[in-house]
């Protein structure tokens, strides 16, 4: 299956032009699409409802949108309130049905300066041919490593108790007349997970090591309840592999801020990882991952 993660910078390209259709064209065709910095009803983007517009531009996909924050921009209209919310968050689109989803609003540190905003991780459970997998589109804090580490610790704790927590509901429906289950079996909440998004961290950072660990004695080690960097377990990308460019202190910095981290059970299934370096539809470059999610996953017995 082909995965793509893309911080679309709410449709503004590296050329300063707002063009949401251009962003949609970049990701079209992938099986699972994780987007960050998608918004609703902002003046800077013509008050557009971007999740709705993207769903029209990519009509062959199921989708879920998760706002990291939500503000009122409702207005009176012909004797009633036109209810609208100004939102900013992440989105997942999938060619396969999204069985269930939930939004994780991440820990936030209040700043004096600069401007800081709430971050979130959107979690979607999808039944792939390999089995059920929890896919995340996440966006971590841009200011400081300390804040990102708090966010990562929260997500790792949620990940490791997923199987014990269960999904949207669990257990035997003892009130069938109320039809809580809607006639469906208990939905899965598997350990298998793939995190994609703008982590605002580089591979030599403390945040990166918090997730994937330090280089072990056995270089190919992968923990069942842990994550590995998709780019580190496939054929090494080019030396110039990066997903973001920015002039810092007068010099052009080429950084790999966007990642795909796969659960340990997928460590040997990554086929390729690449970035569309030079793509100008956003200030980030799309991250593309080809991974075997077609072969059924045989989980080891407890």
pLDDT score, position 187: 93
| Secondary structure (3-state) at 128 | strand
Tokens of 302: 């407890």
Which is it for strands 258-263 and 227-229: parallel, antiparallel or unpaired? antiparallel
Residue 165, judged by CB atoms within 10 A of its CB (0-12, 13-18, 19+), counts as exposed
Quote the pLDDT of residue 174.
84
> Per-residue pLDDT tens for 265-278?
999 999 999 999 99
pLDDT score, position 282: 97
Say what the pLDDT of residue 152 is.
98
- What is the residue-averaged pLDDT of the chain? 93
> Which of these, 140, 137, 115, lies nearest to 124 by C-alpha position?
137
Q: Distance (Å, rounded) from C-alpha 85 to C-alpha 40? A: 7
* Residues in contact with 91: Cβ distance below 8 Å, sequence separation at least 6, in sequence order: 33, 34, 35, 38, 51, 54, 63, 64, 65, 66, 122, 137
Chain centre to alpha carbon of residue 155 = 12
Compute how many other C-beta atoms are within 10 angstroms of the C-beta atom of residue 110: 5
Phi, psi of 155 (to 5 degrees): -65, -40
Distance between CA 28 and CA 5 in Å, rounded?
12
- Per-residue pLDDT at 240: 80
Q: What are the pLDDT tens digits along the chain (302 aa)?
A: 999 999 999 999 999 999 999 999 999 999 999 999 999 999 999 999 999 999 999 999 999 999 999 999 999 999 999 999 999 999 999 999 999 999 999 999 999 999 999 999 999 999 999 999 999 999 999 999 999 999 999 999 999 999 888 899 998 888 888 998 888 889 999 999 999 999 999 999 999 999 998 765 566 788 889 999 999 888 666 668 899 998 888 898 899 999 999 999 999 999 999 999 999 999 999 999 999 999 998 765 54
Q: What is the pLDDT of residues 176-234, one digit of tens each?
A: 889 988 888 899 999 999 999 999 999 999 999 999 987 655 667 888 899 999 998 88
What's the Cα-to-Cα distance from 136 to each of 11, 122, 194, 267, 281, rounded to whole Å? 21, 5, 6, 17, 22
pTM: 0.95
Reduced to 3 states (helix: H, G, I; strand: E, B; else coil), residue 106 is: coil
φ, ψ for residue 209 (rounded to 5)?
Answer: -65, -30
């Amino acid at each position: 299956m082909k995965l793509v993660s893309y911080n679309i910078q709410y449709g503004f390209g590296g050329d300063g032009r707002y063009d949401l259709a251009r962003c949609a064209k970049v990701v079209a065709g992938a099986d699972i699409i994780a987007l960050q910095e998608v918004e609703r009803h902002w003046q800077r983007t013509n008050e557009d409802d971007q999740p709705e517009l993207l769903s029209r531009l990519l009509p062959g996909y199921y989708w879920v949108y998760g706002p990291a924050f939500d503000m009122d921009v409702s207005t009176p209209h012909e004797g009633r309130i036109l209810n609208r919310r100004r939102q900013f968050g992440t989105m997942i689109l999938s060619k396969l049905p999204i069985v269930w989803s939930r939004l994780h609003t991440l820990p936030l540190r209040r700043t004096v300066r600069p401007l800081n905003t709430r971050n979130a991780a959107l979690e979607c459970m999808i039944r792939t041919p390999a089995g059920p997998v929890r896919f995340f589109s996440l966006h971590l804090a841009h200011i400081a490593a300390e804040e990102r580490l708090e966010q990562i610790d929260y997500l790792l704790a949620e990940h490791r108790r997923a199987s014990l927590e269960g999904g949207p509901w669990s257990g035997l429906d003892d009130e069938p007349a109320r039809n809580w289950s809607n006639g469906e079996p208990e939905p899965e909440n598997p350990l298998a997970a793939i995190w994609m998004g703008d982590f605002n961290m580089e591979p030599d950072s403390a945040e990166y090591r918090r997730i994937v660990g330090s280089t072990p004695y056995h270089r190919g080690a992968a923990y069942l309840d842990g994550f590995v960097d998709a780019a580190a377990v496939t054929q090494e990308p080019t030396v110039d592999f990066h997903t973001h460019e920015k002039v810092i202190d007068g010099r052009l910095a080429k950084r790999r801020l966007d990642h795909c981290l796969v659960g340990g059970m997928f460590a040997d299934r990554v086929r390729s990882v690449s970035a569309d370096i030079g793509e100008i539809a956003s200030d980030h470059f799309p991250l593309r991952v080809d991974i075997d999610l077609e072969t059924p996953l045989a989980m080891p017995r407890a």
